Amino acid sequence: MHIYLCGATNPVMGLETADSLYDIVIIGSGPAGYTAGIYAARANLKTVIIAGVTPGGQLMLTGVVENFPGFPDGVQGPDLMENMRRQAESAGVEIVYDDAVDVDFTAYPRRIITSDRTFLAKTVIIATGASPKWLGLESERRLLGRGVSSCATCDGPLFKGARCAVVVGGGDSAMEYALFLSKLVEKVVVVHRRDKLRASKIMQDRVFSEPKIEFVWNSVVVDVLGSERVEGVKVRNRLTGEEWIIPCSAVFVAIGHAPNTEFLRGKLELDEEGYIKVNSSLETSVRGVFAAGDVHDKRYRQAITAAGFGCMAAMEAIRFIEEGYPERLEQEYRAGHPEVVSGPTDPSENF
């Protein structure tokens, strides 16, 4: 089979056509992905965002965002993402609501595969973000959606008026969840594995001044109880080994996130936790493939930093194209693959 490169058309395969060749393919639709899209399209580059079947990233699971500049009264996470999506679309970005399931970064142009299409890319920006981590208990999995949740702002209202909800974790997310839930339920119990919170000072001040929020320190949840719905959690003190039960209707797990890089294993360099390794230009171990946002950044992990990384990655991709790297990489790839031919501009010349 002949493989057609940039500008090629192949009317039979329906895959590797001129239509499927993009200057920039962005995988992921959080703040990093949409910002990259806005910058790429405004540079007049043919850009697609493979947004995923559940687009918008983690902010879709957030309530009010108070630290994104430009919104003095705060903004709802889903509203912020909808605005970014509209801005990307009006800048000229094509948005595809499907997941990238595989990539071929050994080929040039690079290939990104979804359930029913192959996208060819001169450059790629990976902005797939990160997903919530779980405790890893069988009971947690069994009762997911029946009282176990990773998103208090989404599922908390279902437990309005409940006697008690448990939050696991000591970071900003856990505190945000506890504060949100304290408006809905009679009592919130935060179970944290240490005796100090990781959360920011301002969040600590808020939770400590909310009388409905109690803390269980140095402890972990070892089981979620209930057959059809959550009825309580079994907790173990890590210092004394003592175990006891906290009756509750819901458990919100807020113990951090893992990068969404499963489909990239073996395709580019990841660190030991699965985050994408990048250089100072946000380029990965593969030429012309960049990463932006929580998928590579485990330090800042903010919507605003993700957006900033999206901007940087797009500017690097634009420079990569302007400096003629795609043509060089294409020549190199062609030299190593004699079966590759240039596609004729007139499809009828193919056969």
Q: Establish whether 155 is a catalytic residue.
A: yes
Residues that bind ligand NAP (CB under 6 A): 67, 135, 168-174, 176, 193-194, 198, 200, 220, 254-257, 301
Chain-centre distance of CA 272, in angstroms?
A: 18
254 closest CA partner among 172, 144, 164? 172
Asked whether the bond before 344 is cis by omega within 30 degrees of 0, the reply is no
Residue of minimal CB distance from ligand NAP? 171
Q: Of the listed 155, 172, 294, 297, which one is catalytic? A: 155
Q: Of the listed 151, 172, 248, 294, which one is catalytic? A: 151
Q: Which is nearer to ligand NAP, 40 or 135 (CB)?
A: 135
Q: How many CB atoms lie within 10 A of CB 336?
A: 10
Q: Establish whether 151 is a catalytic residue.
A: yes
> Between β-strands 257-259 and 130-132, what pairing exists: parallel, antiparallel or unpaired?
antiparallel
Q: Which is nearer to ligand NAP, 257 or 267 (CB)?
A: 257
Q: Which CA distances in Å does 207 have to 122, 136, 137, 157?
A: 48, 27, 27, 19
- What are the structure tokens assigned to 64, written together? 């009010």
Q: Which is nearer to ligand NAP, 85 or 192 (CB)?
A: 192
Q: Which is nearer to ligand NAP, 160 or 194 (CB)?
A: 194
Q: Of the listed 98, 154, 223, 311, which one is catalytic? A: 154
Residues 118 and 16: their CA atoms lie apart, in Å, by 7
Cα dihedral: 288, 291, 296, 300 (round 10):
130
Query: Residue 104 class from Cβ within 10 Å (0-12 exposed, 13-18 middle, 19+ buried)?
Result: middle
User: Which conformational region is residue 110 in: left (phi greater than 0), alpha (psi within -120 to 50 degrees), or beta?
Assistant: beta
DSSP state for residue 344 in the 8-state scheme? P
Q: How many residues does the chain have?
A: 351
Give me the least distance between CB of 318 and ligand NAP, in Å please.
29
Residues 349 and 343: their CA atoms lie apart, in Å, by 9
Q: Which CA distances in Å does 322 have to 43, 126, 327?
A: 11, 20, 10
What does 238-296 look like in DSSP terms, one character per residue? TTT--EEEEE-SEEEE---EEES-GGGTTTS-B-TTSPBP--TTSB-SSTTEEE-STTT
* Main-chain dihedrals φ then ψ at residue 180, nearest 5 degrees: -60, -45
326 closest CA partner among 70, 1, 3, 5? 5
Q: Establish whether 99 is a catalytic residue.
A: no
Q: Which is nearer to ligand NAP, 36 or 255 (CB)?
A: 255
Q: Which active-site residues does the annotation give?
A: 151, 154-155
